Each structure stands twice: as structure tokens, then as C-alpha cells.
């Protein structure tokens, strides 16, 4: 029988980046996949280590840590932050706890990755952005999790806009359409309660498309005019689900306190016009984050339901041969793609988290400003606040606070 040869583990020689993650629901699962995979695919300056997972239920968090590959578990995020064998805190909780955890983590000298939306209020987001800026001076990095910047197709779109291929921008139109609330019997989960989620489709879907639109356009929204609506105002309480609900109330109904849909138009600083729609009532649309940019020299279009494709119209082509072309964004010279599969072998949703982890590890190792920063997250929050203000004030055009 041959002698097994041990690998000499050059990966092991890289300095570790020890991650502690808070929350392990949908986002926690996705981030776990990102952290587990990134060092296997990309050649990184530091070696991510899934050091600790944190959640309130001891049994559940242990099982989750085991399932997702985290080396240890914690039940108190303060304890997690206090550990000196944690370099980076990854916050995957609902928006109401982002500020408290992130501020504490930054104060404790940790790098931070915080899921979107950055916070439930502008005031919280401001405090977070200030803290992140101060921490950056101390060598800490803080990033907000707008993962849709890291779809190769959107990253390619950003690159093409930055190269000037669109010229002066005229229009940006964006929708984020889902349909999981169409059934009026769908229960009143935490995402439908303002005190936890902050807002409804606006904070959940709207935050994504505001960030993506501004990122791709390369400029900020100057003001907005908005309509919001709650189509189904009362829903059954979830059975045995969220903490604090008694058995009695579990069979009753409760008020939906967030928006079901948000529509807004706006102007970019340059004068380009924008339209946004976020809804969970678009029957048959599952994850239709669609964005189109029209510029003087060209146009780009993207649909998250076909995330390996980017559509590009080159306005400089002779008219007889011009048209929107479908770029299959799987070539080695597309963003992130040199590390993956041969052309035509597409990626999926979860790869955005791998790419996010990749870029964050580089930012940490190089001490560079991460994108999107907490300041970017704050700016998005200000847009959302202007949307809410406009919706309350009869849709009047409302400037975004600077």
C-alpha cells in the first residue's frame, strides 16, 4: 500500500481571516457558502476561516454551525465580538439589530460585513457610517452587503458604463418584482412588521435596486417622487413561529405595517431620469430585478432571473446591423470569471456571496476602502427616507439629503 503524501498546505501559510457570523437564516446560509468556497476558487491574500456562528437558540445554532461548517457557536453576539480570535464580524440579522451589532463590532476593532439595508433608520445609518469612517482610519474595513453588485453581468455593466460606452445617461429604469405575497393567506412574518423590518418591499427590494442603479449609473439620485401601497392589510399570524406570540394570537390575524409595493421616479444628479418599482405582488415574477440604462451612445439591460446574461446595444453600430446583443457573461475576461468554469458554464445566485467575500478579503488585506461602504449604505438609506417622505406628502418631489 502506498504511503499517503501529505499536502504541504501553502494555503495554511497565508494569514487567516477569522470570521464570526451573526444569524444563520437565508442570508447566513448564503454567506456561509460564500466563506466556505471563496478560498477554494480565488487566490486570496488571506485565508478565510469560519471561526464562529452566533444565534440565540443554543441547540439550533450548534446544529447550524455544524451544518454550515463553522468551527464554534455562540449564543450572544456580544460574546462573539469579545473574542480575540475573531477578525471580522458578518452581520446577517434583520435590520433592527444592525446598528447595535455593527457599532459594537467596530468599537471592538473588528472588520465588519453588514447585510442590507444598512439600518432601519437614517439616524442609525449615519452613526454606522461615522463609526466605519473612524474605524477605517484605524485600519478596519466595513462593507454593506449589496451583493447584486457582484453578479458578473452587473459588474461588467458597471465596467462598461465606466468606460464611457453609454455616454450621457438619459434613463435608468429598474424593477424588482416578486410574488410571494399574492396569496392573502400568506402569514404575517417578521418581514411584514415595521418594528423589525423597518419597511416592506422598499427596504427589502427597493434598497437593492437603489444601490444597483446608483452604482451602475456612477452617480446619486438627487430627488424622488413616490407612491407606496399595502394591498392586504391584515394577515393570519404565523403558527408557532416568531418569539413572543401566544398560542391564542397564533390563530388570529395581525396588521401588516409595511408597504407591499413602492413605486418612485427620480432624477439623477446629471439630469437623467429614473423609475423604480419594488413589489411582492407581481404574480409569476419570482426574482425579476431588471435594470436598463439608456445613454446617448448605448444601452444596457439586465434581468436577475437570467443572471448570466447582459444585453448591450452599441449605438455606434451601423443601423442595419445594430441590435441588443446578449452577452453570455461567462468568459474569462468578464469580472470574476477567470476563476470559474469554461465559457457558457453559468453561475448562480450564491456566487454573488463568494465574490463579495473575495472583494472583502482583498480590502481587508490591502487596507483599501471597501465598496459598497457604510457611507454608500447610508446614502441608499437617505434615498429610501426621501421615498417614504414623498409617499407621505402626496408624492411631492423630495430631494435626497446630502
> Of the ranges 91-99, 135-143, 222-230, 250-258, which one interacts with its own copies (CB under 8 A)?
222-230
Residue 6 binds its own copies, judged by CB under 8 A = yes
Stretch that binds its own copies, among 7-15, 118-126, 234-242, 243-251 (CB under 8 A): 7-15
CA atoms of 142 and 126, how far apart (whole Å): 14
CB of 348 to its own copies, least distance (A): 4
Q: What distance in Å separates the CA atoms of residue 274 and residue 301, rounded to the nearest whole number?
A: 14
Question: Which residues between 80 and 109 bind its own copies (CB under 8 A)?
Answer: 80, 82-84
| Binder among 98, 110, 351, 355 for its own copies (CB under 8 A) | 351
Given candidates 94, 122, 127, 170, which one binds its own copies under the rule CB under 8 A? Answer: 170
CA distance 272 to 21: 39
- Whether the CB-CB separation of 50 and 36 falls below 8 Å is answered with yes
Q: With binding defined as CB under 8 A, does residue 199 bind its own copies?
A: no
Residue 74 is a binding residue for its own copies (CB under 8 A): yes
Binding segment toward its own copies, per CB under 8 A, in 189-197, 206-214, 223-231, 369-377: 223-231
362 binding its own copies? (CB under 8 A): no
Contacts of 395 (CB under 8 A, 6+ apart): 225, 226, 227
The b/e string for 220-245 (b: 16+ C-beta within 10 A; e otherwise) is bbbbbbbbbebebeebebbeeeeeeb
Distance CA 80, CA 89 (A): 8
Beta pairing, strands 234-236 & 221-229: unpaired
Using the minimum distance from each CB to its own copies, give the nearer residue, 252 or 332: 332
How is residue 109 written as a grid cell? 476593532
Min CB(212)–its own copies separation in Å? 16
Q: What is the DSSP letter of 71?
A: S
C-beta closer to its own copies: residue 166 or 196: 166
Q: Cβ distance 258 to 197 under 8 Å?
A: yes
140 binds its own copies (CB under 8 A): no
CB of 276 to its own copies, least distance (A): 9
Quote the distance between the C-alpha of residue 193 and its chain's center. 20
According to CB under 8 A, which residues from 278 to 317 bind its own copies? 279, 281-288, 292, 294-299, 304-308, 312-315
Residue 200 makes contact with its own copies by CB under 8 A: no
**How near is the Cβ of 181 to its own copies at its closest, in Å?**
10
Residue 10 near its own copies by CB under 8 A: yes
Query: Of 31-50, which residues contact its own copies (CB under 8 A)?
Result: 32-33, 36-37, 40
Tallying the residues shown for the chain, one arrives at 402
Cβ atoms of 117 and 95 closer than 8 Å: yes
245-264: contacts with its own copies (CB under 8 A): 261, 263-264
| DSSP bridge pairs for 18 | 49
Amino acid at each position: 500500500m502506498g504511503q499517503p503524501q501529505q499536502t504541504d498546505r501553502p494555503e495554511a501559510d497565508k494569514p487567516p481571516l477569522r470570521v464570526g457570523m451573526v444569524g444563520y437564516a437565508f442570508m447566513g446560509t448564503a454567506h456561509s457558502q460564500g466563506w466556505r468556497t471563496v478560498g477554494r476558487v480565488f487566490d486570496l491574500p488571506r485565508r478565510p476561516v469560519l471561526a464562529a456562528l452566533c444565534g440565540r437558540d443554543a441547540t439550533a445554532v450548534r446544529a447550524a454551525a455544524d451544518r454550515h461548517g463553522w468551527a464554534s457557536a455562540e449564543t450572544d453576539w456580544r460574546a462573539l465580538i469579545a473574542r480575540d480570535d475573531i477578525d471580522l464580524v458578518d452581520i446577517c440579522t434583520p435590520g433592527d439589530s444592525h446598528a447595535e451589532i455593527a457599532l459594537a463590532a467596530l468599537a471592538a476593532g473588528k472588520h465588519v460585513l453588514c447585510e442590507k439595508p444598512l439600518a432601519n433608520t437614517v439616524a442609525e445609518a449615519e452613526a454606522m457610517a461615522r463609526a466605519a469612517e473612524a474605524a477605517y482610519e484605524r485600519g478596519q474595513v466595513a462593507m454593506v452587503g449589496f451583493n447584486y453588485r457582484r453578479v458578473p453581468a452587473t459588474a461588467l455593466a458597471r465596467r462598461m458604463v465606466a468606460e464611457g460606452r453609454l455616454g450621457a445617461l438619459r434613463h435608468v429604469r429598474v424593477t424588482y418584482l416578486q410574488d410571494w405575497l399574492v396569496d392573502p393567506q400568506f402569514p404575517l412574518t417578521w418581514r411584514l412588521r415595521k418594528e423589525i423590518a423597518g419597511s416592506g418591499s422598499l427596504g427589502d427590494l427597493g434598497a437593492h435596486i437603489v444601490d444597483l442603479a446608483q452604482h451602475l449609473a456612477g452617480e446619486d439620485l438627487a430627488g424622488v417622487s413616490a407612491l407606496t401601497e399595502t394591498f392586504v392589510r391584515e394577515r393570519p399570524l404565523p403558527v408557532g413561529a416568531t418569539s413572543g406570540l401566544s398560542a391564542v394570537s397564533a390563530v388570529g390575524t395581525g396588521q401588516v405595517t409595511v408597504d407591499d409595493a413602492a413605486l418612485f421616479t427620480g432624477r439623477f444628479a446629471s439630469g437623467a431620469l429614473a423609475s423604480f418599482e419594488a413589489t411582492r405582488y407581481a404574480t409569476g415574477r419570482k426574482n425579476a430585478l431588471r435594470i436598463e440604462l439608456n445613454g446617448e451612445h448605448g444601452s444596457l439591460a439586465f434581468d436577475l432571473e437570467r443572471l448570466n446574461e447582459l444585453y448591450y446595444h452599441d449605438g455606434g453600430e451601423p443601423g442595419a446591423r445594430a441590435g441588443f446583443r446578449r452577452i453570455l457573461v461567462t468568459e474569462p475576461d468578464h469580472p470574476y470569471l477567470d476563476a470559474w468554469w469554461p465559457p457558457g458554464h453559468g453561475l448562480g445566485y450564491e456566487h454573488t456571496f463568494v465574490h463579495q467575500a473575495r472583494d472583502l478579503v482583498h480590502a481587508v488585506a490591502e487596507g483599501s476602502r471597501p465598496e459598497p461602504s457604510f457611507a454608500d449604505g447610508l446614502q441608499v438609506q437617505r434615498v429610501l427616507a426621501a421615498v417614504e417622505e414623498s409617499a407621505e406628502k402626496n408624492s411631492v418631489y423630495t430631494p435626497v439629503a446630502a
